[in-house]
Amino acid sequence: MLFNSIDFAIFLPIVFFLYWFVFKKNLKLQNLFLVVASYVFYGWWDFRFLGLIIISSLVDYLVGVGLLKKKKITARRLLLLTSMAVNFGFLLFFKYFDFFAESFVNAFTIFGTKFNPITLNIILPVGISFYTFQTLSYSIDVYRGNMKPTKDIISFFAFVSFFPQLVAGPIERAKNLLSQFYKKRIFEYTQAADGLRQILWGLFKKIVIADNCAIYVNDIFVHYTNYSGSTLFLGVLLFAFQIYGDFSGYSDIAIGTARLFGFKLKRNFAYPYFSRDIAEFWRRWHISLSTWFRDYLYIPLGGSRGTALNKIKNIFIIFIVSGFWHGANWTFIAWGFLNACYFLPIMLMKKNREHLDIAAQDRILPTIKEILQIGTTFFLTLIAWIFFRAESITHAFSYLAKMFSVSLFSKPNILPIDVIVLITIFIIIEWIQRKKPHALDFDYMIKNKVIRYFIYYIIIGIIIYFGGNQEQFIYFQF
């Protein structure tokens, strides 16, 4: 079920009403209802894959219970390995089987040996990368002794399947989200109202910014040989705002929806395109995944400790694995490799923790230095996005070669003025609100309620006007 669909517009009020008015008095029933509602939400796409979520949930619940009883290290390791085998097994089979099979055949073809590839054309279950990481982090945390395992199976199943963030995050930790299922929720108007504002801004990002950028991005990337370098540059520029509006828009809708039900999800985006270096960008982009890899891969590998060679190795591992997490294509690995190359000099010079505040912290406008830093970081990100969006490595390099040709300085073949104006307004609003969790959190600035509601209705009108091109969320494929 898509957040930007009529189905969800009907589904959400029904679930909200039953949750607060029918099941409010009994916490266990309320949690059970959330499990059922979440399964309906997920099964709306394809009910056959509900079995994967149920098996993954059951395995990790039982692993947690087993870890509570087992004290011997060998038994505990076996339980953790069981969790990892099941979760990574599902992920590898459904997401990467065909990729590895085709890569194996291509590798032998180079040496003159030909095989017929054994591919299964497997349908990728929506959100499998997200919920497997979420449930796996629970088993790891229990194994490490960072949290006590739960015996409440209903709460655990609700934690794994919670529908607002089930298919595209944020990837929650059990210490934050699971614990919220143990406590009685009380409806808070101010929290729910702010959740609605965040949903509205998320829909604006998705429907107005991302979906309208997608029209031109799809055409330019598919027919790039027909266009000038300036048009190709415009294409990747629009893709940068498409993927940001699409994914951060989903996160805003997810976080806002969770607030309607009394839950607080972690922030997933913090205005990443205002970053002054790549290290800051990765602290602000897809925060839940970045911190997941940091805590469960980078730090166990040794992190930034040890020799320079060890630091370099760890940086490349975490970025390449992060790229591979996004999809079974060499383009994603190249995207991760390129980001590692960006990040490495900053880390080796020990400047990766330099920008922990926001740009222009106590000022309206950035300094010349900050403008150059933001511009450079954004440009490097654009180059990396070409590999992320391209169909193949060859496609990416051909696109780059055509983009950096003499025609880069010509007039673009396509110039969507309306979309450029919308993006400009969008950037200005987000810049003004860069201290806030979301851009419509402006009660502190606009005290007059009438004016605030006028702005909300203007945004709703813009969403309706520009909402004809419904696109699936990009990160559903991951």
- Decide if 265 contacts 255 (C-beta within 8 A): yes
Residue 410: left (phi > 0), alpha (psi -120 to 50), or beta? Answer: beta
Report the distance separating Cα 476 and Cα 167, nearest Å: 7
265 is written with which tokens?
């999800």
> Is residue 326 flagged as an active site residue?
yes
Closest CA to 165 of 288, 83, 56: 288
Given 223, 286, 326, 355, which residue is catalytic? 326
Give how far the C-alpha of residue 166 lies from the chain's centroid of Cα atoms, to the nearest Å.
11
CB 339 within 8 A of CB 354: no
Q: What is the largest CA-CA distance in the chain?
A: 74
- Identify the helix (H) or strand (E) that includes residue 144: helix 128-144
Q: Which two tokens stand for residue 353?
A: 């923790």
Q: 321, 255, 254, 240: which is closest to 285 by C-alpha?
A: 240
Contact call for residues 171 and 289 (beta carbons, < 8 A): yes
Q: Which two tokens stand for residue 270?
A: 């913090």
- Per-residue DSSP letters for 416-478? -HHHHHHHHHHHHHHHHTTTSSSTT--TTT---HHHHHHHHHHHHHHHHHTTT-----GGGG-
> Can you say whether residue 185 is alpha, beta or left, with left for phi > 0 and alpha for psi between -120 and 50 degrees?
beta
Residue 276 phi/psi, 5-degree rounding, is -100, -5
Q: DSSP class of residue 298?
A: I
Q: Within 13 Å and on the Cβ side, how many CA atoms surround 123?
A: 8
Total Cβ atoms within 10 A of residue 358? 16
d(Cα 98, Cα 159) in Å, to the nearest integer? Answer: 31
CB 133 within 8 A of CB 322: no
Enzyme catalytic residues: 326
